Amino acid sequence: MSAVRSVTVPGDKSLSHRALMFAALASGESVVRGVLPSADVISTAGVLRALGVSLPDRWSGEDTLRITGRGRRGLQQPSRDLDCGNSGTTTRLMAGVIAGHDMRATFVGDASLSRRPMRRIARPLTQMGAIFTFTSDDGLPMTVHGGALGDIDWISPTASAQVKSAILLAALVSGNSARVQEPTRSRDHTERMLAALGAPIVVTDEAVVLGPVTALAPLDFDVPGDPSSAVFLIALAVLRGIPIEITKVGVNATRIGAFAVLTRMGVSLTLVNAHDVGGEPVADVHVAATAGIRGVDIGGDEIPALIDELPILACLAARADGETRIRDAGELRVKESDRIAVVVSNLRAIGADADELPDGMVIRGGAGRFAGHVRSHGDHRIAMSFGVLGAGGNADITVDDPDCVNVSFPGFWETLALIGAAT
Ligand code: S3P
């Protein structure tokens, strides 16, 4: 029996973006540790710097960042376009922040981000009183003209934390109230951080309601490890049949839907040392050595809590006994790539058996050899998912653009090699 390999994962991406944004809007000095030093979060820092916030352009995951907030409505008119790189969270959340300020800013990004839908945030923010201009039908470049906004009661057609957060941030900055209702609760980090900083926010089964805020207290926050990154390492341990422990992982229920799916597939996974950090649940994740996994159905209300994990769950399903059906996941088509088309075409390229569905996919698992070249389309989660499948055994898979993993998981390939060496 091999010894349990204990590893950590870099800081949570969603929380790192929010920590920087809330620190920028707070009154006073915030102290944030463990901020993910990945390309997406570096994009948020760059956008905040363009708006007058003093932030480093590079940092390490061990650094403590001390950030002087400019106050609830104190950002400066930028003199350049806001370059969001590959980051949808930077674009959509910061569009809400700009909408609440009396300023005008143009958002730009890379080719993948420029294709992603932005009208989903423009619609509610326009209803609040902001003015949006698009040069194409949807997507970037997008100019936001903010100002005096009004209250909003928004029923969102999609479960999207980025849409919900854009609205809450616009209301926070402009001193308005907002009510947001979603078909299923999306990740609730913005709500938790607002509550931790003293904002009048009420969350019910039906909706999130934020009352007018005058000032935001500064944060003192340790960013936990990213559960989305942890799932890649869990998947590799499962494929290699080795036990693993991942310490200090964020285990917010709106983020760990994949843990329940892994359990249904036959993985024995336990959370130990559970505690709370700044309003976010954190624990160590223990995974026992797994002998084999089975295919499962994934769909319905569980999708928002595992949307980013579907590519790696699909790759794992290619090694499961039986069929896996993923449904109700049409949102995958508007992520960093069309993750339904890209996962299925890459699974087929390496010899796995998979078909697209309009809102998901079907994967028929097998133990045969997988070999071939994977096109990541610059999508970090595609590169990592197939990287794991390649390292999982009986496979010879090459992945183009391996550096794109830096969008969310710097050091991914090194950590993968470390776990692989444990066998
Ligand atoms: C995120 C929300 C999700 C997720 C993305 C990060 C966030 O997107 O897929 O990786 O930090 O709010 P949607 O809000 O579009 O579902």
pLDDT tens per residue across span 241-285: 999 999 999 999 999 999 999 999 999 999 999 999 999 999 999
Report how far residue 207's alpha carbon sits from residue 160's, in angstroms, rounded to the nearest whole number: 13
Percent pLDDT > 70 in the chain is 99
Ligand 1 neighbour 167 (Cβ under 6 A): no
Decide: pTM greater than 0.75.
yes
Q: Whose alpha carbon is nearest atom 11 of ligand 1?
A: 14
Is 200 within 8 Å of 211 (Cβ atoms)? yes
Q: What is the pLDDT of residues 28-49, one digit of tens each?
A: 999 999 999 999 999 999 999 9
Report how far residue 207's alpha carbon sits from residue 168's, in angstroms, rounded to the nearest whole number: 12
Calculate how far, in angstroms, residue 227's C-alpha sits from the geometric centre of ligand 1: 13
Number of H helices, E strands in the chain: 13, 21
Index of the ligand 1 atom closest to the CA of residue 163: 14
Catalytic residue among 308, 328, 353, 396: 308
Report how far residue 259's alpha carbon sits from residue 267's, in angstroms, rounded to the nearest whole number: 9
Rama region for 34: left / alpha / beta (φ>0; ψ in -120 to 50; rest): left
Is 402 within 8 Å of 357 (Cβ atoms)? no
Pocket test for ligand 1, best of 44, 307, 409 (most atoms within 8 A of CB): 307
Q: Which residue has the tokens 């207290």?
A: 217
Helix, strand, coil: what percent of the chain each, to 5? Answer: 35, 25, 40
- The alpha carbon dihedral of 180, 12, 302, 328 has a sign of positive
pLDDT at residue 2 is higher than 70: no
The whole-number pLDDT of residue 189 equals 98
Ligand 1 neighbour 160 (Cβ under 6 A): yes
Pocket test for ligand 1, best of 89, 280, 381 (most atoms within 8 A of CB): 89
The whole-number pLDDT of residue 242 equals 97
Calculate how far, in angstroms, residue 318's C-alpha sits from the geometric centre of ligand 1: 25
Calculate how far, in angstroms, residue 187's C-alpha sits from the geometric centre of ligand 1: 8
Report how far residue 384's alpha carbon sits from residue 363's, in angstroms, rounded to the nearest whole number: 18
Q: What is the pLDDT of residues 56-107, one digit of tens each?
A: 999 999 999 999 999 999 999 999 999 999 999 999 999 999 999 999 999 9
359 is catalytic: no
- pLDDT band of residue 422 (cuts 50, 70, 90) is low
Q: Where in the chain is the domain with CATH 3.65.10.10?
A: 13-222, 224-420
Index of the ligand 1 atom closest to the CA of residue 334: 15
- pLDDT band of residue 3 (cuts 50, 70, 90) is confident
CATH class as words, domain 224-420? alpha beta
Domain 13-222 homologous superfamily, CATH: Enolpyruvate transferase domain (3.65.10.10)
Calculate how far, in angstroms, residue 125's C-alpha sits from the geometric centre of ligand 1: 18
Token pair for residue 379? 């999508």
The whole-number pLDDT of residue 421 equals 78
Ligand 1 neighbour 19 (Cβ under 6 A): no
Pocket test for ligand 1, best of 112, 158, 160, 185 (most atoms within 8 A of CB): 160
How is 345-397 classified by DSSP, letter by letter?
HHHHHTT-EEEEETTEEEEE---S-EEEEE--TT-HHHHHHHHHHHHTSSEEE
> Which residues, at least 6 apart from 31, have a Cβ–Cβ distance to it below 8 Å?
64, 65, 66, 67, 218, 219, 220, 221
- pLDDT band of residue 340 (cuts 50, 70, 90) is very high
Calculate how far, in angstroms, residue 329's C-alpha sits from the geometric centre of ligand 1: 13
Ligand 1 neighbour 229 (Cβ under 6 A): no
Report how far residue 10's alpha carbon sits from residue 207's, in angstroms, rounded to the nearest whole number: 31
Calculate how far, in angstroms, residue 290's C-alpha sits from the geometric centre of ligand 1: 30
pLDDT at residue 51 is higher than 70: yes
Task: Quote the mean pLDDT of the chain.
Answer: 97
pLDDT at residue 423 is higher than 80: no
